[in-house]
C-alpha cells in the first residue's frame, strides 16, 4: 500500500463487486491488483449498495480501534490501509463511520503514518468528502508533531481546494533544492525546523500523486530528467502521468518520452521505463513511434506496457493496423508482433485482423493471415466464432426476407383461388337465374291455354336445350386457376433456390476470408438480375393474351368435333 496508489492507477476493467464476505476477504488477504480493482469498483457503486459493506467495515475496524500499534512495514499495516480506504468510499454521511475515520486520521489514536495518509488521500479524491478533507487538513498543516508525509498531503489539499498560498509555497519548497529557509514559517508552525532532503521531496511527490499542482510541473520534470535510481523517480513519473487533462499534457508526454529513450537499455530501470510508458498511454498524447520502438525491448514488462499503451492511444483497430503495416514491410517480425497483440484485448484484436483479411489489399490480407496463424489457439477459435455470428446474423436477416416473400406469394395464390370460386359461383347464379326465368315464362304461357303453350314449347324448346348444353359447367375454370397458382409457387420456389445458391457462394467466400471486390459484386448482381428477369417472364407467361384465348377455343372446338365424329367402341350398337 505504501507504493501503489489506488486512486491514481491505470484504468482497469469494470467488474461487479462481490458479496460482503468476499469483499472483506479481498481487502484482508487479496493481492494488490485485486484490491485496487475492488476499490475502483466500490467508487462506482451507489450508497444503498455500499451500506452492507460499510456496516461490516465499521464493526470490524471499530473492534480493533483499542489495539492499534505502529505496524508500519508489516502486512497488517497494508491491510488496515486498504480497509480504511474502502471505509472512506462507503462512509457517505454515516455519523458512526465518519467518527471512526476521524480516529484514523488522528496521530494520537492511529500511530501508523501510512494509515493516516491513506485516510486523507482517499477522502481528498472523493467529492462528497472534500469539505471533510479540508477541515482535517487545516490542523494537520500546522501540526509540528505530524510527520512530513501527512503534512505535505495536507498542504496539497489546502493549496488545491482552498487556494492557500502558504501551503502551496511550502509544498514547492519541499521539491526544490538549496539551503533557503522554509517560506511559510509564520503561517505553518514547525516548518522552520524542516530541512530539504530526500524525505521531504518524497513526501511532496506523494502528495502530488493525489493532487498534481500545475505549479509543481517544472520541479517534477527536473526529478525525471535527473532520473536518480530511487523511489523519487517512480513517484515523479506517477505525478507526470496525472497531467493528462492539463495544458501541459504534451510537455508531460515529451518528458516521459525522454526518460524512456535515455533509460530504455538500463537493466535496473526496466520497471521504471515500463511505468513511464504506461503513463504516456494514460496522458492521451500520441507517441506512436516511441511505443513501436519499445516493442523491441528485451524486457517483457516494457514490451507489454508498450503494446497496451499503443492500444490506449490509438484504439485497438488502429493499433492492429499499424502492426499489420510493420509486418507488410518486414515479414521477419511476425512472432514479435503476435506477442504484442496478445497483450491487447483479444476480442477486439480478432475483429480488427478479420477486417484486414477482407480489405482488398493482398499484402495486408496475407500479413493479417500470418498474425492469426501466429496467435493461433483460442484466438483462431474466437475468429471462427466471430465469423459464425456475423454469418448467422446475415442469414437471419435473409431468412426473414424470404419468409415475408413466401407469405406474400401464398396470399397471392389464395387470392387466385378465391377469385376463381367467386367467378364460378357467379356463373352458377347467372345460370340458375336464367333457368328460373325460362321456367316462369313457360308457366305463364301455359296458363294461356294448351294450344299457345304447345306452339311456344315447340318453338323455344330446341333453342333452350342447345343454350343449356353450351353453358354446361365442366370445372375447366377451377382447373386452370389451380394450375396457374401451382405454377406461381413453382416459379417462386425456383427463384428462391437460385438466390440461396448465390447466398451460399457468398457465405463460403466469407468463411474463407476471401475479399469480395467490385467485379465479384457485379457478377453476383447480374446473377440476381437474371433470376428476377426469368421470374418476371415466367409469371407474365401465365397471363393469356386474346390471341392465345382464341387459339385455345379453336383447339377445343376441334377436339370436341373430332370426339363427336369418332366411331363408337367395339361391341356397342350404332
Question: Whose grid coordinates read 479481498?
Answer: 26
Residue 343: what pLDDT? 87
Give the Cα separation of 6 and 119 in Å (integer).
Answer: 12
Complete DSSP assignment for 407-461? HHHHHHHHHHHHHHHHHHHHHHHHHHHHHHHHHHHHHHHHTT-HHHHHHHHHHHH
> Per-residue pLDDT for 364 more than 50?
yes
**Containing H/E element for 187?**
none
The whole-chain average pLDDT of the chain stands at 77
Residue 288: what pLDDT? 87
pLDDT tens for 403-458 read 766 676 677 667 666 766 776 777 677 667 766 766 766 666 666 655 555 555 55
> Per-residue pLDDT for 80 more than 90?
no
- Which residues neighbour 358 within 8 Å (Cβ) at sequence distance 6 or greater? 365, 513, 514, 515, 516
Give the Cα separation of 362 and 129 in Å (integer).
Answer: 59
Q: Which of 348-352, 432-436, 547-551 shows the lowest mean pLDDT across its residues?
A: 547-551
> Per-residue pLDDT for 539 more than 90?
no
**For the chain, what percent of residues have pLDDT higher than 90?**
21
**For the chain, what percent of residues have pLDDT higher than 70?**
64
Classify residue 363 by burial, with Cβ atoms within 10 Å: 0-12, 13-18, 19+.
middle
φ, ψ (nearest 5 deg) of residue 6: -70, -15
Residue 572: what pLDDT? 46
> Per-residue pLDDT for 543 more than 80?
no
Give the Cα separation of 189 and 191 in Å (integer).
Answer: 6
Give the Cα separation of 261 and 273 in Å (integer).
Answer: 9
Complete DSSP assignment for 222-276? HHHHH--SSHHHHHHHHHHTT-TTSTTHHHHHHHHHHHHHHHTT-GGGHHHHHHH
Could you tell me the sign of the dihedral formed by the alpha carbons of 214, 218, 219, 222, in that order? positive
Question: Whose grid coordinates read 326465368?
Answer: 437
Dig out the grid coordinates for 89 from the structure.
468510499
Q: Which of 96-110, 313-327, 371-385, 476-490 shows the lowest mean pLDDT across its residues?
A: 476-490
Question: Whose grid coordinates read 493499433?
Answer: 319
CA distances to 296, 330, 367, 469 from 340, in Å? 10, 15, 15, 92
| Nearest one of 102, 89, 91 to 136, comparing CA atoms | 102
Residue 258: what pLDDT? 92
Give the Cα separation of 163 and 175 in Å (integer).
Answer: 19
First to last CA, the chain: 122
- Specify whether the CB–CB gap between 124 and 152 falls below 8 A: no
Residue 15: what pLDDT? 42
Give the Cα separation of 368 and 372 in Å (integer).
Answer: 6
Residue 116, classed as helix, strand or coil, is: helix
Dig out the grid coordinates for 350 from the structure.
480478432
> Per-residue pLDDT for 348 more than 80?
yes
pLDDT tens for 122-181 read 999 998 999 999 999 999 988 888 899 999 999 999 999 988 888 999 999 988 887 777
- Specify whether the CB–CB gap between 280 and 290 falls below 8 A: yes
Q: Which of 13-27, 280-294, 299-313, 530-544 shows the lowest mean pLDDT across its residues?
A: 530-544
- Specify whether the CB–CB gap between 209 and 239 falls below 8 A: yes
Residue 473: what pLDDT? 47
pLDDT tens for 305-337 read 999 999 998 898 999 999 999 899 888 888 888
Dig out the grid coordinates for 336 from the structure.
514479435
Residue 12: what pLDDT? 38
Going from N- to C-terminal start, the domains of the chain cover: 1-125, 382-565
Virtual CA dihedral for 327, 333, 337, 339, nearest 10 degrees?
Answer: 160
Amino acid at each position: 500500500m505504501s507504493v501503489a496508489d489506488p486512486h491514481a492507477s491505470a484504468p482497469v476493467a469494470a467488474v461487479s463487486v462481490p458479496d460482503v464476505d468476499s469483499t472483506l476477504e479481498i481487502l484482508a488477504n487479496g493481492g494488490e491488483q485485486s484490491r485496487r480493482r475492488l476499490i475502483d469498483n466500490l467508487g462506482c457503486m451507489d450508497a444503498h449498495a455500499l451500506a452492507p459493506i460499510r456496516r461490516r467495515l465499521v464493526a470490524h475496524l471499530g473492534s480493533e480501534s483499542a489495539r492499534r500499534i505502529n505496524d508500519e512495514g508489516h502486512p497488517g499495516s497494508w491491510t488496515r490501509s486498504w480497509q480504511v480506504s474502502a471505509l472512506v468510499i462507503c462512509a457517505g454521511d454515516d455519523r458512526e463511520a465518519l467518527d471512526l475515520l476521524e480516529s484514523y486520521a488522528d496521530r494520537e489514536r492511529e500511530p501508523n503514518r501510512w494509515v493516516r495518509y491513506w485516510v486523507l488521500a482517499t477522502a481528498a479524491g472523493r467529492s462528497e468528502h472534500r469539505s471533510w478533507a479540508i477541515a482535517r487538513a487545516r490542523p494537520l498543516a500546522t501540526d509540528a508533531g505530524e510527520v512530513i508525509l501527512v503534512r505535505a498531503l495536507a498542504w496539497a489539499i489546502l493549496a488545491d481546494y482552498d487556494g492557500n498560498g502558504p501551503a502551496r509555497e511550502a509544498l514547492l519548497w519541499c521539491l526544490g533544492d538549496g539551503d533557503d529557509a522554509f517560506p511559510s514559517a509564520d503561517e505553518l508552525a514547525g516548518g522552520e525546523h524542516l530541512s530539504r532532503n530526500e524525505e521531504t521531496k518524497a513526501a511532496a511527490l506523494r502528495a502530488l500523486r493525489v493532487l498534481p499542482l500545475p505549479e509543481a510541473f517544472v520541479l517534477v520534470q527536473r526529478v525525471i530528467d535527473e532520473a536518480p535510481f530511487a523511489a523519487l523517480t517512480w513517484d515523479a513519473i506517477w505525478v507526470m502521468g496525472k497531467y493528462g487533462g492539463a495544458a501541459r499534457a504534451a510537455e508531460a508526454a515529451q518528458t516521459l518520452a525522454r526518460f524512456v529513450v535515455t533509460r530504455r537499455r538500463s537493466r535496473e530501470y526496466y520497471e521504471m521505463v515500463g511505468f513511464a510508458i504506461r503513463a504516456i498511454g494514460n496522458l492521451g498524447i500520441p507517441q506512436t513511434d516511441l511505443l513501436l520502438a519499445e516493442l523491441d525491448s528485451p524486457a517483457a514488462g516494457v514490451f507489454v506496457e508498450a503494446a497496451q499503451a499503443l492500444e490506449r492511444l490509438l484504439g485497438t483497430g488502429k493499433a492492429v493496423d499499424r502492426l499489420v503495416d510493420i509486418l507488410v514491410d518486414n515479414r521477419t517480425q511476425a512472432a514479435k508482433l503476435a506477442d504484442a497483440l496478445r497483450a491487447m484485448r483479444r476480442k477486439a484484436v480478432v475483429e480488427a485482423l478479420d477486417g484486414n483479411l477482407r480489405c482488398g489489399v493482398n499484402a495486408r490480407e496475407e500479413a493479417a493471415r500470418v498474425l492469426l496463424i501466429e496467435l493461433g489457439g483460442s484466438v483462431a477459435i474466437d475468429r471462427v466464432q466471430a465469423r459464425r455470428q456475423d454469418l448467422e446474423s446475415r442469414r437471419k436477416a435473409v431468412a426473414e426476407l424470404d419468409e415475408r416473400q413466401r407469405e406474400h406469394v401464398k396470399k397471392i395464390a389464395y387470392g387466385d383461388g378465391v377469385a376463381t370460386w367467386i367467378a364460378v359461383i357467379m356463373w352458377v347464379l347467372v345460370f340458375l337465374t336464367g333457368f328460373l326465368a325460362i321456367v316462369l315464362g313457360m308457366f305463364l304461357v301455359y296458363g294461356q291455354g294448351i294450344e299457345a303453350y304447345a306452339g311456344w314449347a315447340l318453338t323455344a324448346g330446341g333453342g333452350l336445350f342447345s343454350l343449356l348444353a353450351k353453358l354446361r359447367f365442366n370445372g375447366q375454370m377451377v382447373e386452370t386457376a389451380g394450375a396457374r397458382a401451382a405454377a406461381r409457387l413453382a416459379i417462386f420456389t425456383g427463384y428462391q433456390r437460385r438466390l440461396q445458391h448465390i447466398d451460399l457462394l457468398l457465405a463460403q467466400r466469407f468463411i474463407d476470408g476471401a475479399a469480395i471486390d467490385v467485379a465479384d459484386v457485379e457478377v453476383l448482381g447480374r446473377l440476381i438480375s437474371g433470376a428476377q428477369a426469368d421470374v418476371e417472364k415466367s409469371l407474365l407467361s401465365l397471363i393469356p393474351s386474346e390471341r392465345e384465348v382464341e387459339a385455345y377455343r379453336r383447339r377445343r372446338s376441334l377436339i370436341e368435333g373430332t370426339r363427336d365424329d369418332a366411331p363408337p367402341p367395339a361391341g356397342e350398337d350404332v
